Structure 1
């Protein structure tokens, strides 16, 4: 807030520059209105350039003066003569003001008024109203530009009339003059006299503020804190939220906080705050004093001083709600200063002091804990990841070749440090979980906790955490990895079991208990994540372990799960099932010997033997099982060879087609899509009536997509769409076909498919909206604007009529579509020119304006921030453009210079409100940044305001190393 003295000086400068303004009428009252309350400095209002075309008062001053002079000539009544003389002095004062208004130069206008007031004072020294005359005389001298003489009159007024109603005003004017002259001691005395008039005096608040500055200028820093504190007492809200104050009060309050921060920094920093307010008494805004001091130090790059300022508050008020917030700023100061060790230590201290396990947390309400949670949410993961990374780095360092020569004792010590760091990291992960059980990061924290416990060798806790991630949370990202890691952890745990764990107690050993828990975990993994690439191997392991435990029925059940999967998702699927089933059914599972036996059997069978076909089928089954054995060994190439060999050894077997089908699946599972395509294409040619042929197109789609052959995948999907009788499959296939053609760059075909989908399938609503959106984008690329707007309008209508099916996405797409259509209206508005006759073109312009505003208001109604900011910016631009168009509109050619000037003034009067509207709307858009919204359109509003109001928004920051003076 600019101190009042500068405003006065600025006013004098304006007057001396030749502006004909009756400015000082706001400071003083007329001498001929003694019965009325007199105007004072408190009535100061912004200087406004008067309208020179306005009519002057009808009464002529010369006539009035002449009239009063005639009265003096005809009356001998002393009282009447005195009143007339006082009135004449007032008229001379008014005459001087009028001359000041009418002339460009300043000086000499108030000589007669000064003489009149001096004469009255000299001739009637004891008149009770002389204080008002002195007040007017000081005004006349001031207007005359004689501030020294004005000061002398003010001195006389305050000396001779200490009880005058003008006393406080005069003291305030004296103080301002003293301050402007740099006479800070006398300024302080005068300001103090104003303060003594009481809090109800009109200049009390300004006097307090300037009294503090006077003391500051005298380097009486500690003394200045009391009046500054009194200013804060009267302005800072109870909730300490100074942002709720009106602008003037807010800026004044912020200025006081700044100067007080400087004072505290000159003295003993935060210790001075404690000392001063131990004396003055506690204030509700004390946290703001500490905070401003901390920020002051931070701007000066005194990072440790900033941190210590916050620490002083924390130590003094350890239970305050603000303490954890200040502790976070303490940490930020160390971060800004580049003190990583201090940052780490202070974050750990923060957790210990305010975390969920602390006494502070236990004593606070949920509302108070809300001050802490944001920092815990930040620091806990940071500390956990720090120690986790440190532990990993330590262990990697141990494994580095350069450390191979370390002594065992040192290796043991370093390993112990790494284990300790893993445990510490896990503890922080666990504390995050306990603090924020509903947070989206909790599954990740559980997983990282399990990882850190795994690395620390605490496998039982790792297993528990892994299984929480795998089976409690629907975590697509980590669930399968966590489930598999739990199985691995079981393996390590079993390796660590002591020899004694193998001893049987009550019919079962500790080791077997853990083995059975491991199998249960494996089966759960295979069931939950049946399509995971590791599921088959895990299930295989379970079957093998069940077999080892002689749990034959459970082993068969596990194997049956693999054989019943349709279609098989992984290479080892059937292999494992037939191996386990073969061991349980035939005990030996020697399929190569079985093949040899079946071959021998066929050699001795008669050609017409009724069992021949059955043996052929068993022969085919034995080869089929060998293929699955190859898959179990991870030899996909051999497995495919064995599958295809079934047709060679048993061409009449029904399993021949299935084997070739499985060969294709194996190739698919091994990502050999090119070979898979060849096999599947041959399969449907050779077995067109086989039920399995129905699945081939879908598999071909997967293969073509995996190979990036999007158009062929689209062709397969189109075929599925055309042939399927299942409406759901047709619908899904059509949409996927459109997507694939789009990926292939075949935009015309993609348009056809999307258009067919959009017309045929309005449900489900979200997908139908996406189809319309894709069509709009494709038509945009094709430069077919008319068709694009057709689908934009479709999206708007569909969203409007969606009812309960309306989604955030549909609302977004409708807002997007509306913004495009609104932009069309905006362009039409801009193209509408203002030409003569102006009334006609302005009517058209107004119509275009209304349509544009309506369109953008519809965009705002969607409540989508991205487009709301765009629409707000455009609405402001509309008003701004209208203002500019008015000013640049065609002028009539038959106007003379004066008429043209008047015409321009009228246009400016018409244009100005639109510019004001534009400013208000831009400012509303800018205010979104206070809530964290700062997108391209908010930025454009800032840019627009820098042109519309450059004094406020066009400023550039300037940095300097030091400041020598503070104003």
Structure 2
């Protein structure tokens, strides 16, 4: 027991990690230089977490002082919570993380149920809320946070707890509750990172309740706090997250002002609440929002409202120009003209607005004034030249306007001249006094403008220190230029004092500064130069130089050298784990870019080799899937079908859920087609059809798979594929009908008549239900299917003889006759020329043959001569109507000749008519005349 306590006592004294604290990101080049060194004589190696937790559990089973038991329980809960976090998302851990969270929650609740003799209940509630959230129980997490803020109003966790309560309530659309929570978080202080986010969400909660003025108060406070960032909103120097926050804030501010009257609402609000240096952003945002809503006049009105209120503001000319551009672009020529005239008059030379405008704004505005003055003069000039019914007074006014604007232009731009220059001074005393900007100038003069002396190198190095000291004092906009000057000063130091042991390190720092400024070519040159100094460059500076050399080569598209640099970085001792991952990713990107370069030159096979090298050199690279996809595409372009198939198959196995898997399946199918492997192509197309994507793509792939099986002579697989197609894609009807027709053909080839007839019937049934989905092709297929099904009925009818006893055989033959008639009428009903004539002929033949069968039927035995004569007369009477119906049906076919349908069945109908009605149809001359008349 004592040994366990001695082991665990130091761990009991350690604190917890803050809830959802961000892990530090990979170091920047600047952070590599600035990171302090830590010297530890004897590092303490902590035992594994499992061992520690087991020790705590043993400890809790032994008698111990209450404070040690309490702290051991708390620490065990913390460790279980941390272990659950580590296991979260690890598929191999199963539900172990859930068990960890449940155990931690139980321990925290046990501690909270105690009588409060120990401090830190607010921390327990905080950890409990965190554990409940990670366990997927937000409502219980919210309860713990509610208890925390209720019982511990002075807790250091209060602001975060209130913010997270606000987030929960906001998500539940309880905007009033969220408002109170966010307000409490805001009131808790400005030092926390949650203050700014709470202020932003407070404004949103008020906006959701349509408390627009109050919402604007919150957003205005936020924008006031970020006024410096607002100045850099259009600059790449602003972090993406901060840019998006400011843009979202300006957007909701604009939405609020739309509810308060638009630009007039902005005027009123800031008249009451005081102006702001960033006010132009609000007018611009409102105008941009109107523009997205196609409210062109309102958009321009918002831009112009700011200009009219603040004509000398640096952004005012740009907003007026924006209004003019939108009038012009969206077809408001008269408003555009008025805005141009307003611009020219407002910024008249030596007018108050022009005099108060800063020089840079004047310079930016000048070319636009030049153009718009010409436009105004040209407009009125054109009006004067128009031929029309304008009065003399009107023409005189136009003339005066044109003259005035021409003169204005000539006065304003008589000679088109320009000029400028800047200087700094320094001294060592000023450095000690903290006037670092002046010290820079003095040190550089001392080092480089005088003959050599003993302190020259020190002066040059001190100038660099002065640059670094002054940097934090400068406005953000001035820092890049100051950094460039510092880099140039470092280069001067290395050129003048190359034997100084600090020269290599100075070069490394200058290379880093130039890289951060985007001067990649010079940065790479200086990094190479610093590395040539060998052992005089300490290890940390070596890493910086190699990093700059590699990154700069990458930016300059020298990917071969970039690969060398990143490879060298991975070999340097002392590499940090976080930076190793970043370097590997950059190494993979450099190799990938070599592939792209080869592809752009048309060397697709070489490009593929580079793309495949990504996975060989950096197996875990995030870009590997993209690289291997591009490798396959390059091999396809090079017609290397077998290699492309191998890469695509590997991709399919390695990345079964990749977003490009559908395209990979399609490419694989096409590659197998090109490689003359139809069965493999068919299988690939089947996978395409089964991959989630556009239904048309699936349908086409399923059809192509079935066709390929058929073409490859794999009848069984073709049958299965066409059946699957019919089942999955019954619409559109026409290709589904074609699939049924293919099944008919396949079963015909396989001599499976029953299955063939089943699909013939499916063609007929489907077409009869088609409705508006019917097409000429589907009717054609159905008609021929019906005809094929009808022919066996006709043959069966023919085979039934009329014999004694006549009643029974006559019943059989009549029943079969009805089935045959129905079958041929169904076929004829699809209105397909060749089918209709054949079906009509068959119908006529059915009636004719039935009549003949009656006449030639077997006579009853034992009839006398008189009875036999009467019986035959009776048969003739019974047969006559069928002969008449046969003639009528053949005549229907014959009449089709006049409609342009004269096929073998029509011709046979004419032949039958000649036999059945010779008086009308047997004479050749008369038949020809009748046929001519019918035509």
Q: TM-score, normalised by structure 2?
A: 0.41
Q: TM-score, normalised by structure 1?
A: 0.40
